[in-house]
Chain A
Amino acid sequence: MTDATMDRPAAKASDDGELTTADGTPLAVSLRRSHAQARRRAFYLVLPLLAFLVITFLVPIATMMTRSVQNYEVADYLPTTTAAIADWDGTGLPDEAVYAAMAEDMVVGSENRTIGRVAARINREIPGVRSQMMGTARDIDEMSPPWKEALIAEDEGWANEEFWRLVKRETRTLTPIYYLLSFDFEYNSHGEIVERPEEYQVYRLMFLRTAWMSLLITTLCIVLGYPVAYMLANLPLRYSNLLMILVLLPFWTSLLVRTSAWIVLLQQQGVVNDMLVWAGVIADDGRFRMIYNQIGTIVAMTHILLPFMILPLYSVMKTIPKSYMRAARSMGASPLRSFVSVYMPLTVPGLAAGVLLVFILAIGYYITPALVGGDTGIFISNLIARAMQGSTAELKLALALSTILLVAVLIFYWLFNKLVGVDRLKFG
């Protein structure tokens, strides 16, 4: 960076060694400026989609995630109690100040008709609190201080330490409770995190089932799709086009129709069972149960997701020249060895893309498990859907479950990126 560079008029080196253009602007700045317009134009082109995504995708997801940890009922509707109970150490009953604050909040609350919401919130953790609070609120106008005695006299529940501990805990506006529930944990009466009673445990099982069934479906898609993709890629064009239509045909058929077709085929009085009985493979009273259970979900979902495996595989295989396998064989490798050590590694980008697509689609699948899954074949998404239709609390649980599902997918994607490298993937 000495004389030679200095002599050149187009790019000069300034004293600190930085390259500049003829008029003295740093080269990097000049370069950036010259590209700025093209970049701006590109940005305007993606702007509509970006706006669409932000409004319909990012904002709802952000809302979902925040609402799943929000816990505003106690803090919002019992503001004075929230302030007063902060000083209480959680042992014994709180003192008069807290009871007085509670009475004040109840007066306001029954005027605004908000007390019911708090009552419902706490009632979820301690059954009976709703009637305790509603009953007291109804009579609060006739009561007088000291509030501690008055309230306890009105309802025994006000003398329950557990109740007060709960109120104190729930004054936090952020709560992990829905996430705990999602993993079948909860707070006990002492505010410790414990496993829920076994009969209530459902979500962990459901997450695990969703994961392993999705894995199984992905594996089945690979096993069934790989040979088909290979055939598609290597057949003469006129046959491969026909085959491609056969692969895509289910793709163009309504999901509902396809799933219903599986019901017709697989149910106990269905086509498959009828044929097996007719062929004498099974007795009439020994018909297989192939639907409304895990088998149904696995069969129907494998069928539905298969194109997502075949298409990326096909697009990659199409580009692999025949000469690679030929070269391997000319060097002495058996057809199997050539396939395994030369052909298969070259299909990894397509395979990985297929796995990513199928697994992520499967993990969040809803309609098919709902229709053919019965009790044992449903996925976490079915529970989320069910919870969405319930109360506020259930909705929040649904949001927590959804967030966990989203995070699981992101973790899977990240892992996948580490292992395969997403920039190498070929989706089609």
Chain B
Amino acid sequence: MLTIEIPGGNQSAYGMSESDHVGASVAFDGVQKSYDGKTLVVRDLNLEIEPGEFVTMLGPSGSGKTTVLMMLAGFEPVTHGEIRLDGNPINALPPEKRGIGMVFQNYALFPHMTVEENLAFPLKVRRMSRGDIAKRVKRALKMVEMPEFGSRRPGQLSGGQQQRVAVARALVFEPNLVLMDEPLGALDKQLREQMQYEIKHIHDNLGVTVVYVTHDQTEALTMSDRVAVFKDGIIQQLSTPSDLYEHPQNSFVAQFIGENNKLSGKVSEVTNGQCRVDIDGGGSVTAAAINVEGKGARTTLSLRPERVELNPADDCPNVLDGKIDEMIYLGDHIRIRLTVADNDEFIVKVPNKTGSLDLKAGAATRVGWRTDDCRALDPVDQA
């Protein structure tokens, strides 16, 4: 009835072992998408994904990340541009001929089939022999540590178990590329963290390329080789998790990834990749000039709470006065909310060391940081 060609895929790679399986490479080339002909949901997407890479598309809802995934899977036509899988354009290829595994947000396990039948479905479609199917289904169930659940129906499984079956089903036909659309969204926190590691391990073992969509930044940081931060249909930044956290390129990324202190001000001087900024609420600091237009331009400083020091030593290059508003005890560390330069949402994280608890709400203090830890980015309206 239909022969399945896995584009550029390794046809003999049916061993589900580590060695002979090669992930696919994906390239988005000037991809645009519009649903209504008036607005672009995805604007000029250019993205290269290496074989075996785990790339996460991270962004708030409506940022276009799921649309990108659906275009890659073949469920949404590309308005403009080209998507290539292992170098071959796949724009015109229907989803069933792309050979891409997919894990859906609600798992999409077929409720009228048992777990085994669910796993066997992609293999049956490929007209594999019954013996092979049984062997692979068994192996896939073992991979997700559910060997004894084969005869159950999805409805009889817990959310976490359904999640594992969904992952196993997306992998059982050994695709070179697996897409995951917020697969952990429905799980509780503890299970979600556990599944993050399991998916990561499966990825490491199989060498398959994974494109993962989520709005949860912790998930993105934990699992990914690289993270693409989406906003308004544009990739704001594409880098490794650590780079994303340490070196955000714009205020949106700084704000979206991790906790962030914002201070608005005006650039008074730019020298050697550093700039002098006059803070609106008073005071002047030096910061790394990352995304500033030049002297006189407005900027927003980004500062991670754990990089701020309370009552710094005298040689600290940047010091501002502040007032402690609130102290939140969190066991291993203490979160302190201060008012610094009229910003009453200035957060500092202090490790729970001897003496840390001596601080009291209402006390005046000074905060300081290293120049490299403070990044001058594009201005945002401070609400």
- The answer to whether A331 touches B112 (Cβ under 8 A) is no
Please tell me which stretch of B10-18, B56-64, B96-104 contacts chain A, meaning at least 4 of its Cβ atoms lie within 8 angstroms of it: B96-104
The 0/1 profile, CB within 8 Å of B marked 1, for residues 246-257 of chain A is 000000000000
The 0/1 profile, CB within 8 Å of B marked 1, for residues 221-235 of chain A is 000000000000000
- The answer to whether A327 touches B96 (Cβ under 8 A) is no
- The answer to whether B4 touches A323 (Cβ under 8 A) is no
- The answer to whether A333 touches B121 (Cβ under 8 A) is yes
Q: Is B122 an interface residue (CB 8 A)?
A: yes
- The answer to whether A332 touches B99 (Cβ under 8 A) is yes
A330: which of B1, B2, B100, B105 is its contact (CB, 8 Å)? B100
- The answer to whether B125 touches A337 (Cβ under 8 A) is yes
- The answer to whether A330 touches B106 (Cβ under 8 A) is no
A326-B73, A326-B75 known; A331-B121 Cβ under 8 A = yes
The 0/1 profile, CB within 8 Å of B marked 1, for residues 38-76 of chain A is 000000000000000000000000000000000000000
- The answer to whether B106 touches A323 (Cβ under 8 A) is yes
Docked Cα-Cα span, A348 to B112, in Å, equals 10
Q: Is A342 an interface residue (CB 8 A)?
A: yes
Interface residues on B, range: 20 to 34
A326-B102, A337-B125 known; A331-B169 Cβ under 8 A = yes
Q: Is A346 an interface residue (CB 8 A)?
A: yes
23 residue pairs from A and B, CB less than 8 Å apart: A323-B106, A324-B108, A324-B110, A326-B73, A326-B102, A326-B104, A327-B109, A329-B74, A329-B75, A331-B96, A331-B101, A331-B169, A331-B173, A332-B4, A332-B99, A332-B125, A332-B126, A333-B121, A333-B122, A334-B1, A335-B96, A341-B121, A346-B112
Interchain nearest-CB distance for B195 vs A (Å) = 19
Docked Cα-Cα span, A321 to B105, in Å, equals 11
The 0/1 profile, CB within 8 Å of B marked 1, for residues 371-405 of chain A is 00000000000000000000000000000000000
Q: Is A328 an interface residue (CB 8 A)?
A: yes
Interface of A, secondary structure class, is helix
Q: Is B8 an interface residue (CB 8 A)?
A: no
Beyond contacts A327-B108, A331-B173, A335-B94: 8 other A-B pairs, Cβ-Cβ < 8 A, are A321-B106, A323-B105, A323-B108, A326-B75, A329-B95, A333-B121, A345-B112, A346-B112
Docked Cα-Cα span, A324 to B110, in Å, equals 7
Docked Cα-Cα span, A147 to B43, in Å, equals 113
Interface residues on A, range: 20 to 34
Docked Cα-Cα span, A341 to B122, in Å, equals 12
Residues in B whose Cβ lies below 8 Å from that of A342: 110
Residues in A whose Cβ lies below 8 Å from that of B97: 332
In the complex, which residues 110-124 of chain B have their Cβ closer than 8 Å to any Cβ of chain A? 110-112, 121-122
- The answer to whether A332 touches B108 (Cβ under 8 A) is no
Residues in B whose Cβ lies below 8 Å from that of A346: 110-112
Docked Cα-Cα span, A182 to B41, in Å, equals 70
Docked Cα-Cα span, A328 to B121, in Å, equals 8
Interchain nearest-CB distance for A350 vs B (Å) = 13
Residues in B whose Cβ lies below 8 Å from that of A331: 96, 101, 121-122, 125, 169, 173
A332-B96, A333-B121, A334-B2 known; A327-B173 Cβ under 8 A = no
- The answer to whether B108 touches A333 (Cβ under 8 A) is no
Residues in B whose Cβ lies below 8 Å from that of A337: 1-2, 125
Docked Cα-Cα span, A330 to B169, in Å, equals 11
A326: which of B4, B95, B125, B170 is its contact (CB, 8 Å)? B95
A337-B1, A337-B125 known; A330-B110 Cβ under 8 A = no
Docked Cα-Cα span, A346 to B113, in Å, equals 10
Residues in B whose Cβ lies below 8 Å from that of A328: 110, 121
Residue of A nearest to B2 (CB): A334
Interchain nearest-CB distance for B202 vs A (Å) = 18
Docked Cα-Cα span, A327 to B75, in Å, equals 10
Docked Cα-Cα span, A348 to B179, in Å, equals 30
Residues in B whose Cβ lies below 8 Å from that of A335: 94, 96
- Counting from the closest, the 9 A-B pairs by CB-CB distance are A331-B122, A327-B108, A323-B108, A330-B102, A329-B95, A323-B104, A332-B125, A345-B112, A329-B96
B108: which of A321, A334, A348 is its contact (CB, 8 Å)? A321
Docked Cα-Cα span, A323 to B109, in Å, equals 9
Residues in A whose Cβ lies below 8 Å from that of B169: 327, 331
Residues in A whose Cβ lies below 8 Å from that of B125: 331-333, 337
Residues in B whose Cβ lies below 8 Å from that of A330: 73-74, 95-96, 98, 100-102, 170, 179
Residues in A whose Cβ lies below 8 Å from that of B74: 329-330
Docked Cα-Cα span, A338 to B109, in Å, equals 13
Docked Cα-Cα span, A324 to B109, in Å, equals 7
Docked Cα-Cα span, A342 to B110, in Å, equals 7
Docked Cα-Cα span, A329 to B108, in Å, equals 12
Docked Cα-Cα span, A337 to B4, in Å, equals 13
In the complex, which residues 295-354 of chain A have their Cβ closer than 8 Å to any Cβ of chain B? 321, 323-324, 326-335, 337-338, 341-342, 345-346, 348
